[in-house]
Amino acid sequence: MSTLRVLILAFDGVEALDFAGPFEVFTTASRVHARQHPGQPALFDVKSVAAAQAVQARAGLRLLADHTLADAPAADVLVVPGGVVDAPLASPETLAWIGAQAAGARIASSVCTGAFLLAQAGVLQADARVTTHWEDIAELRERFPRLDVVDDVRWVDNGRIVTSAGISAGIDMSLHLVERLAGRDLALRTARQMDFAWTTNLSSPSA
């Protein structure tokens, strides 16, 4: 298969593990795949994108993005992390970028409160089944009452749109995406390489 481009959004206040968890999954999956298939193209090309290339994650970790919104290539897989999302929610440029990337991507996904950004950008349609961090379930229902917001799941797969619960659930979701895109064997080997106990059975794709 050809290389799939994974773009992960970064912004001031992003939750570090929301960002780094998917980054680790997709880059590790590429590394594990390359060991078994030497000489083949990389499975995933993982890049970070931010409005300004230098951002400060929640709790102070500084990140230097690969691309700005203006020069980012098109995503095959879009990952929108959460954290403190007030600034990106108030940024028409960021919301427009999310909407445009999601429209062209094979899969658009969110971690934690990244679901608020997908909703505000118009990516989540009415009656879409979604989830977020347990602490933010009530607010997501209140702000976007037409969404079908569910709790007690690690992720919700609607085909092109996949949302996950909080923080570490983004790792579970990302492994699920690896399984969808490249097979269960690679997802299991990736989880083993990461020494991660993958929760695989708390949500399934909806019809």
Q: What is the 3-state secondary structure (H, E, C) of the chain?
A: CCCEEEEEECCCCECHHHHHHHHHHHHHHHHHHHHHCCCCCCCEEEEEEECCCEEECHHHCEEECCEECCCCCCCCEEEECCECCHHHHCCHHHHHHHHHHHHHCCEEEEECCHHHHHHHCCCCCCCCEECCCHHHHHHHHHHCCCCEECCCCCEEECCCEEEECCCCHHHHHHHHHHHHHHCHHHHHHHHHHCCCCCCCCCCCCCC
- Give the pLDDT confidence score for residue 110 in this predicted structure: 98
- 177-205 mean pLDDT: 87
The answer on pLDDT for 203 being more than 70 is: no
pLDDT tens per residue across span 29-41: 999 999 999 999 9
- Give the pLDDT confidence score for residue 53 in this predicted structure: 85
- Give the pLDDT confidence score for residue 200 in this predicted structure: 74
> Which are the contacts of 145, defined by CB distance < 8 A and separation ≥ 6?
none
- Give the pLDDT confidence score for residue 168 in this predicted structure: 95
How many residues are present in the chain?
207
Phi and psi at residue 120, to the nearest 5°: -65, -30
Catalytic positions, please?
A: 112
Query: pLDDT class for 199, splitting at 50, 70, 90?
Result: confident
- Give the pLDDT confidence score for residue 133 in this predicted structure: 97
130-146 exposure pattern, b = at least 16 Cβ within 10 A, e = fewer: bbbbeebbeebbeebee
Mean pLDDT of the chain: 94
The answer on pLDDT for 205 being more than 80 is: no
Query: pLDDT class for 125, splitting at 50, 70, 90?
Result: confident
pTM for the predicted model, two decimal places: 0.94
pLDDT tens per residue across span 41-87: 999 999 999 999 899 999 899 999 999 999 999 999 999 999 999 99
- 1-27 mean pLDDT: 96
CA nearest neighbour of 14 among 195, 185, 170? 170
Which one-letter amino acid corresponds to residue 6? V
The answer on pLDDT for 13 being more than 70 is: yes
Planar angle of CA 22, 187, 69, nearest 5 degrees: 25
The two three-digit tokens of residue 122, written as one number: 């118009």
- For the chain, what percent of residues have pLDDT higher than 90? 91
What is the torsional sign of CA 65, 67, 68, 72? negative
